[in-house]
Structure 1
Amino acid sequence: MLQGKKTFLRPLELDDIPIFYQWYNNQNINYWANAAWPLSTMLSEEEIEERFFTPQKDGSRYLILNEEQKPIGTVGYRDVNLPARSAVLFIVIGESDYWNRGYGTDALKVLIDYLFYQWNFHRLSLDLWDGNLRALKAYEKLGFKVEGRLRQARFVLGEYRDGILMGLLRDEYLEHHPPHPPQGI
């Protein structure tokens, strides 16, 4: 288990499927997470298991736990490019009571530290839609920089919206986030 200041990350377990079922079938969560509502809602538990709990060759997904070990979201990486030492990150805080309280930023920092310090990744990237300003601010706080826009790449509630591409290089991150020894649990 990896620990941050406010969060813990642990691998997924099959017992987590019901909580993913709640999160990924919640219109509000899907709207902010990927602007895909209502297209990505109404997944069955079997579809949740296949989509999120099947081992991937090029990435991993973790459960985010709060200080009391309550599941509040998921974070992970995909599209690993070993020669370039890069990956694409993603995060969803599935419990809206934990929005705007620093839990997502903390969990993402734990994962970034893990990938840069333990796995020696060189570059991490992520994407979001232009209406999710809360996520944009959180990513910028960690050092991500806007690298581009995908014009009208998302269709949200009847209108086309831009996708935003962001990137973070290891050297830039190390300048502002020096490594620190793990804290005891």
Structure 2
Amino acid sequence: MYKDQELTIRPIQEKDLKRLWELIYKEDNPEWKQWDAPYFSHESMSYEHFLKEAESWIDAKSRWVVCVNNDVHGTVSYYYEDEQKNWLEMGIIFYEGNNWGKGYGTTALKLWVNHIFTQLPVVRVGLTTWSGNKRMIRVAEKLGMTMEGRIRNVRYYNGEYYDSIRMGILREEWNEQ
């Protein structure tokens, strides 16, 4: 568990599952999906169906909850792009719009990157977003990440093409901050 003032990131507990289902899968078109890869479909699911999948989330190393004043409002996660486990990507989602624009994402990802570099033998942490998500790009810049790739016009959403954006930071760059 890591804490910065009222924000905490910690492993998912069984008691969090109902709240996570409400935030992620209760609705067909949740507000957060407008920003988190909206070009991929999202489907609601029953709580019972969610529980079958979410059992593996409890105490998982790669997906934690983000709490503000001890209430679950989001998740941070990581995954490996390759089998060698050298290319790690991370992500964050705050599921309710009333939490956006308050600096929580920056704080949570700062704690998460620190956790990743402390616990895993990786030399780089990256994130991928789309050019329509200006807030995510700004958070990555605040963390000291460098734009490593821009794949032009590969994300199609609401009748427009957007770029895929890859940003990253090396361990030594993180340690210098």
1:137 corresponds to which letter in structure 2?
Answer: R
1:48-87 matches, within 5 Å, as 48-50=50-52, 52-54=54-56, 60-66=62-68, 68-79=69-80, 85-87=86-88
Identity %: 30
Residue by residue over 1:55-101, the C-alpha shift from the partner in whole angstroms, topping out at 9 and shown as x without a partner, is 59x961000011x2011100011117685644110100112221111
- 3-state SS, counterpart of residue 97 of structure 1: helix
1:10-159 matches, within 5 Å, as 10-24=10-24, 25=27, 26-36=29-39, 39-50=41-52, 52-54=54-56, 60-66=62-68, 68-79=69-80, 85-159=86-160
Tell me how far apart the structure 2 counterparts of residues 4 and 29 of structure 1 sit (CA, whole Å).
Answer: 23
1:78 corresponds to which letter in structure 2?
Answer: Y
- Backbone CA RMSD of aligned residues: 2.5
2:34 corresponds to which letter in structure 1?
Answer: Y
TM-score, normalised via structure 2 length: 0.84
| CA positional deviation for 1:2 | 1.8
Tell me how far apart the structure 1 counterparts of residues 55 and 62 of structure 2 sit (CA, whole Å).
Answer: 10
Residue by residue over 1:30-73, the C-alpha shift from the partner in whole angstroms, topping out at 9 and shown as x without a partner, is 11122246x213233345445554259x961000011x201110
TM-score, normalised via structure 1 length: 0.80
- 3-state SS, counterpart of residue 40 of structure 1: coil
Gaps of 5+ in 2: none
Tell me how far apart the structure 1 counterparts of residues 151 and 48 of structure 2 sit (CA, whole Å).
Answer: 32
Following TM superposition, the consecutive aligned residue runs of length 4 or more in structure 1 with deviations greater than 3 angstroms are: 46-53, 80-86
Tell me, yes or no, if the aligned pair for 2:80 and 2:86 is still in contact at 8 Å.
Answer: no
Tell me how far apart the structure 2 counterparts of residues 46 and 146 of structure 1 sit (CA, whole Å).
Answer: 41
- 3-state SS, counterpart of residue 16 of structure 1: helix
| CA positional deviation for 1:5 | 3.8
Partner of 1:180: none
